[in-house]
């Protein structure tokens, strides 16, 4: 059984990926400092998989603590590095905090992988590396434009660091996964997106507004040059995204990767406007959603959606769910989450 370290394993995408990894026969440990999550998610993972995952509640910017964990697990087959701060708006306000956290943690993880001979690495990148892309849909060959936020720049720099690192460590296999807009929750509604800091992604904001945790959803701008004036995104179900990590890992472990670093887009290839997403939510759930139109938000790109052919061809991956599945599972999760909070 291959043992994998998932950093950020208590977070949104990390926790769903752990479920998919366990379903595919991997053993998993997590490292998460709980800056945007809680270990309660480990109960949800256990309820789904029957397995208790151990989390090291360490800050990966702390090299000594990170190294101690690698030393205790010197048989790792790979690392999936999710741990990062991820709020675009917050990164505009606190750029140094984003650079410090996202880059130092990556440096320490790569450093320990070399010291403890861990051969396979997967990095959580983002479609934000494309900036305001010059062509749509974007392929992995679409040129990277100026980053629109310090967050996006940490992803561009992170990718570049992995490339530079790979020149010096040719035995190391690396995959950079550029996620488009992950959303939705596990079908069981036992895990989902449950940040400890206020959500800023569209789907949790929609479900929070619908259930009454927020007064209303604010749509940031309806005067963009798009079909209804709101921004266009490519929403990918988190379980489809999770499965792409399993496939990428299997690809690396099977020695199928030819280049030291490969890049894959992970989206479903369909652009959905913010207002279309709002309507999909109301149609699928039958719920009313209070929303109003606000000003544009700094750091937002206008439109972006993926061409995922490379992941399909090389990893044998394809998304199985659409925006309706996203809204249905996200809403089921919101109802469970809100009820649990009321009972406390």
137 binds ligand NAD (CB under 6 A): no
In the complex, what is the shortest distance from the CB of residue 16 to ligand NAD, in angstroms, rounded to a whole number?
8
Binds ligand NAD by CB under 6 A, chosen from 4, 5, 6, 8: 8
Diameter of the chain measured on Cα atoms: 55
Binds ligand NAD by CB under 6 A, chosen from 61, 109, 176, 301: 61
Helix (H) or strand (E) holding 150: helix 150-168
105 binds ligand NAD (CB under 6 A): yes
Tell me which residues in 176-195 interact with ligand NAD (CB under 6 A): 179, 181-182, 195
In the complex, what is the shortest distance from the CB of residue 102 to ligand NAD, in angstroms, rounded to a whole number?
7
CB contact at 8 A, 205 and 214? yes
Question: Toward ligand NAD, which CB reaches closer, 101 or 172?
Answer: 101
70 binds ligand NAD (CB under 6 A): no
Binds ligand NAD by CB under 6 A, chosen from 18, 20, 29, 36: 36
34 binds ligand NAD (CB under 6 A): yes
Tell me which residues in 297-316 interact with ligand NAD (CB under 6 A): none
In the complex, what is the shortest distance from the CB of residue 288 to ligand NAD, in angstroms, rounded to a whole number?
26
Question: Toward ligand NAD, which CB reaches closer, 168 or 177?
Answer: 177
Size of the site for ligand NAD (CB under 6 A): 30
Question: Toward ligand NAD, which CB reaches closer, 166 or 265?
Answer: 265
Binding span for ligand NAD by CB under 6 A among 53-61, 68-76, 294-302, 311-319: 53-61
Binds ligand NAD by CB under 6 A, chosen from 4, 5, 6, 13: 13
In the complex, what is the shortest distance from the CB of residue 87 to ligand NAD, in angstroms, rounded to a whole number?
9
**How many angstroms from the chain centroid is the CA of residue 340?**
25
In the complex, what is the shortest distance from the CB of residue 302 to ligand NAD, in angstroms, rounded to a whole number?
17
DSSP 269-288: S--EEHHHHHHHHHHHH---
Helix (H) or strand (E) holding 313: helix 309-315
CB neighbours of 254 closer than 8 A, spacing ≥ 6?
Answer: none
Catalytic one among 151, 224, 305, 308?
Answer: 151
CB contact at 8 A, 74 and 116? yes
55 binds ligand NAD (CB under 6 A): no
Both tokens of 173, joined, read 């296999």
Strands 291-294 and 217-220: parallel
CB contact at 8 A, 1 and 226? no
Q: Annotated catalytic, 56?
A: no
3-state helix, strand, coil in the chain (%, to 5): 45, 15, 40
Tell me which residues in 197-256 interact with ligand NAD (CB under 6 A): 201
Tell me which residues are annotated as active site.
151
Binding site for ligand NAD (CB under 6 A): 8, 10-14, 31-37, 59-61, 82-86, 101, 105, 124, 126, 179, 181-182, 195, 201
């Amino acid at each position: 059984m291959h043992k994998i370290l998932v950093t950020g394993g208590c977070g949104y995408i990390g926790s769903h990926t752990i479920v998919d990894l366990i379903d595919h026969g991997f053993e998993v440990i997590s490292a998460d400092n709980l800056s945007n999550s809680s270990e309660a998610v480990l109960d949800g993972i256990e309820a789904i998989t029957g397995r208790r995952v151990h989390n090291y509640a360490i800050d990966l910017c702390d090299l000594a603590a990170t190294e101690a964990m690698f030393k205790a697990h010197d048989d790792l087959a790979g690392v999936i590095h999710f741990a990062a701060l991820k709020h675009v708006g917050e990164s505009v306000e606190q750029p140094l905090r984003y650079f410090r956290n996202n880059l130092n943690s990556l440096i320490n993880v790569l450093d320990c992988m070399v010291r403890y001979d861990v051969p396979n690495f997967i990095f959580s990148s983002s479609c934000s590396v494309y900036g305001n892309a010059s062509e749509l849909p974007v392929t992995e060959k679409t040129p990277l434009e100026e980053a629109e936020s310090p967050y996006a720049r940490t992803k561009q720099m992170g990718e570049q660091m992995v490339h530079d690192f790979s020149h010096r460590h040719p035995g190391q296999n690396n995959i950079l996964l550029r996620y488009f807009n992950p959303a939705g929750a596990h079908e069981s509604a036992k895990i989902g997106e449950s940040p400890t800091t206020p959500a800023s992604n569209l789907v949790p904001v929609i479900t929070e507004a619908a259930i009454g945790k927020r007064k209303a959803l604010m749509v940031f701008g309806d005067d963009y040059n798009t079909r209804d004036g709101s921004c266009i995104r490519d929403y990918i179900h988190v379980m489809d995204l999770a499965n792409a990590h399993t496939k990428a890992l299997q690809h690396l472990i099977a020695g199928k990767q030819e280049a030291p670093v490969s890049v894959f887009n992970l989206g479903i290839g369909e652009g959905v406007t913010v207002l279309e997403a709002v309507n999909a939510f109301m149609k699928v759930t039958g719920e009313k959603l209070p929303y109003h139109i606000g000003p544009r938000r700094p750091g937002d790109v206008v439109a972006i959606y993926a061409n995922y052919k490379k992941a399909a061809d090389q990893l044998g991956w394809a998304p199985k769910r659409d925006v309706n599945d996203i809204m249905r599972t996200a809403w089921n999760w919101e109802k469970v989450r809100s009820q649990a909070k009321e009972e406390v």
